[in-house]
Chain A
């Protein structure tokens, strides 16, 4: 993907000293960076724990910075500070220097206006950023605020719509968009502004793999064209690492590393220690080269070339072999769906679906954003009444009255929502765990919470970070030991360590006999766990096949809105010699 961008990237880099990734923070400050932090500390209240500590960072025009760090390490806080939202809107105590275009924003009373004209931020939750009713209005919102000439507003809105693949959605009501479409819209809004500094907090988490492959080069290309500095956080950056020039690692509020991407990523041990997601090709190169790896590869071909050039014959260590769950024993059908049609008013979301789910299946529901995956999952769980058709679970059909399911499903169902807050019922974290397991003792609850990195069992679930909420939602649902477990993006926003934990839990449940339906864009999760893959497109099933058929054949994954699982790519490369 980066071939197209290479020429642009070099133009960007050559612009000035400040853009050079190898330049030190002091050099960048001296080169009049667009935005710089000098010895910045931040706490939400005086005397409270510091969320950011002694942060020195500078961002210059044309830089493309990847900000990495474990969950709760201070990434989002840092981004809000860079966008000027801290301390102007989100209160707190900031010490140290924050310079915007060379002006110390503490000494001069700099309003949020000064920041908003130069800095655009896309926050983690795209849903909460929506201000208008239609897609085009949302994109035009900021442009109208800045008082741009009307013809520019129209041109930029149309351009953003087209470039972000939303041209057909100009007048679509934003509340009817899927999570991924809202994410795409938030990105389109930021790109339309053509800011000097573009800040993106996990902008790809909700997007389907095809969407990521489409949107990421677009973001970088726009940043390069405008000479903007790009600062972005992402857990899974494997597919687009080569688009970045610099990496900053932050943990517990401190900057641990700041330098050229190939140098910083070379320290695989540190990345693992912090629980960060290490691209598979990087893991493989580190395993093959050991200490001889002095520069991190940014793609699999690069990794292969590095290994070959070092005179080492590429091989597949045991850790990179595929450990598949046991094939499901023939145990009959758990869920049977016939002629299912779901509509909201005049808008039909699912059309004539016919399928069944066998007991002990791990079914991956995949497809483009807005294809109806979450709606299907909610309908299977009995939350949405279909317009027509029949759902039978454990031999008993669902019955409905006035759009509501009557009674309970014949088999216990667990459901993990895409946004975990929706499912929390209790005032404390431990009560949330005990919802389906009232017998859960304090000690066991503490052990479970400790394993998922949550310290205070008496805290309110809403006070947890995004990643922690998801882990709590997943774990609390798993404790119910449901017969059918439905998970909507369970690994979204999780670092490597927590992803492995969730994956391990799913395997344990599967071994214990739970049937699992997982909606995910995490292709490696599907490749490693799923026994069956079902692809939805515009509310219809376009493919329903076993793991072996899906990954063994010549299925065009990109055409289905999917990406190649990195592990499969590695296996193929090895097989090809």
Chain B
């Protein structure tokens, strides 16, 4: 069940699974910084690039598309608002000759072409960050990530474990939600998830149980000696073959180039100034 969850780790042996967690983390940081810092026009290309990489995650198309049902409503305002707002402020923005018209249900709606393109690019930027993060989450075993942070980056293992718990908490909450959904269905309770009634019947008990479960997990961890020793011994060492180490070096260089390009674009300077 857990392997099919939206945000959780997907068990597998795909090319992306085989890459070590730190390499993926470095690549993700590079992509996110470039997506935010580089000229917005690049995001469309990056999005295409990520779509091209996606099959290497081993995640089937249906699962890959599932988050879009959540992302699309999120991005709709970003796509629809700029065309309208840019049109309203066309004089101030110098877009007087940019107006286009759309006839919808008999109404003529004026909008800014540039605004529409801008909105689409903003959505592309968000999608780049979202997809890149999901690809890393789906293909990185949380334990491997913790181990990489502790053994390779020398991060304190208690903090690294906090990352791990945050990651595994997602499937716990989803599992609780699923079971609660079953119970509501069987007991004949009609509800809509995004309503106050839905919140009371579904979300509040799930949050309550998840919090209590979090407490029980903490209790269990304490009772099993978590934090007893200053350092942690891992059952297995992370060992990666030479090609993967070369890949990591290449990714570090690529990420550095992307970050450099983003800085050179001057966008960060504008953001800092504003």
Contact = CB atoms under 8 A, between A and B. Distances in A.
A415 interface: yes
Contact of B1 (A143, A149, A345): A345
- Most chain B CB within 10 A, of A142, A149, A462, is at A142
Contacts of A45: none
Interface in B234-257: 234-237
B209 A147 contact: no
A123 interface: yes
Interface in A380-420: 381-384, 404-405, 408, 413, 415, 417, 419
Contacts of A123: 216, 219-220
Contact of A378 (B143, B182, B222, B224): B182
A142 B233 contact: no
- Most chain A CB within 10 A, of B165, B223, B236, is at B223
Interface stretch (A111-119, A548-556, A565-573): A111-119
A346 B223 CA distance: 36
Contacts of B1: 175-176, 344-345, 347
Contacts of B2: 173, 175-176
Interface in B102-139: none
B93 interface: no
Contacts of B179: 417, 419, 422
Contacts of A454: none
A145 B229 CA distance: 6
Contacts of A382: 185-186
A545 interface: no
B272 interface: no
Nearest to A150: B233
B234 to A, nearest CB: 6
A148 interface: yes
Interface stretch (A5-13, A131-139, A294-302, A351-359): A131-139
Contact of B233 (A147, A189, A405): A147
A423 B187 CA distance: 8
A83 B223 contact: yes
A133 B141 contact: yes
B83 to A, nearest CB: 32
Contacts of B181: 383
Nearest to B168: A133
A147 B217 contact: no
Contacts, number: 155
B103 to A, nearest CB: 34
A136 B235 contact: yes
B52 interface: no
B201 to A, nearest CB: 7
Given A113-B225, A146-B228, A381 B186 contact: yes
Given A144-B234, A345-B1, A435 B187 contact: yes
Contacts of A115: 223
Nearest to B171: A175
A86 B180 CA distance: 31
Given A128-B213, A145-B232, A176-B2, A422 B187 contact: no
Nearest to B184: A425
A108 interface: no
- Give the size category of B's interface with A: 35 or more
A65 B175 CA distance: 36
Given A130-B217, A344-B1, A142 B222 contact: no
Interface string B46-81: 000000000000000000000000000000000000
Contacts of A83: 223
B3 interface: yes
B232 to A, nearest CB: 6
Contacts of B231: 147
A425 B201 contact: yes
Interface residues of A, number: 68
Interface string B187-210: 111000000000001000100110
Nearest to B9: A133
B228 A129 contact: no
A347 B2 CA distance: 11
A421 B209 CA distance: 9
B186 A147 contact: no
Given A147-B231, A345-B3, A89 B225 contact: no
Contacts of A408: 188
Contacts of A264: none
Given A378-B182, A408-B188, A425-B201, A133 B228 contact: no
B223 A133 contact: no
B227 interface: yes
Contacts of A368: none
A408 B185 CA distance: 9
B185 A85 contact: no
A144 B222 contact: no
A144 B186 contact: no
A140 interface: yes
A132 B143 contact: yes
B183 A423 contact: yes
B176 to A, nearest CB: 8
A44 interface: no
A347 B209 CA distance: 27
B145 to A, nearest CB: 11
A153 B187 contact: no
A419 B187 CA distance: 15
A113 B220 contact: no
Interface string B1-26: 11110000101000000000000000
A116 B227 CA distance: 11
B264 to A, nearest CB: 41
A137 B183 contact: no
A154 interface: yes
Contact of A405 (B185, B225, B236, B237): B185
The list of the 7 closest CB pairs from A to B, nearest first, reads: A128-B216, A147-B229, A383-B182, A345-B4, A142-B224, A145-B225, A129-B220
Given A125-B216, A344-B1, A346-B3, 5 more contacts: A112-B222, A121-B223, A128-B217, A383-B186, A422-B180
Interface of A: 83-85, 88-90, 112-113, 115-117, 120-121, 123, 125, 127-134, 136-137, 140-150, 153-154, 157, 171, 173, 175-176, 189, 193, 344-347, 378, 381-384, 404-405, 408, 413, 415, 417, 419, 421-425, 435, 462
11 contacts: A85-B219, A115-B223, A116-B228, A120-B223, A144-B235, A148-B233, A150-B237, A175-B2, A422-B182, A422-B183, A425-B201
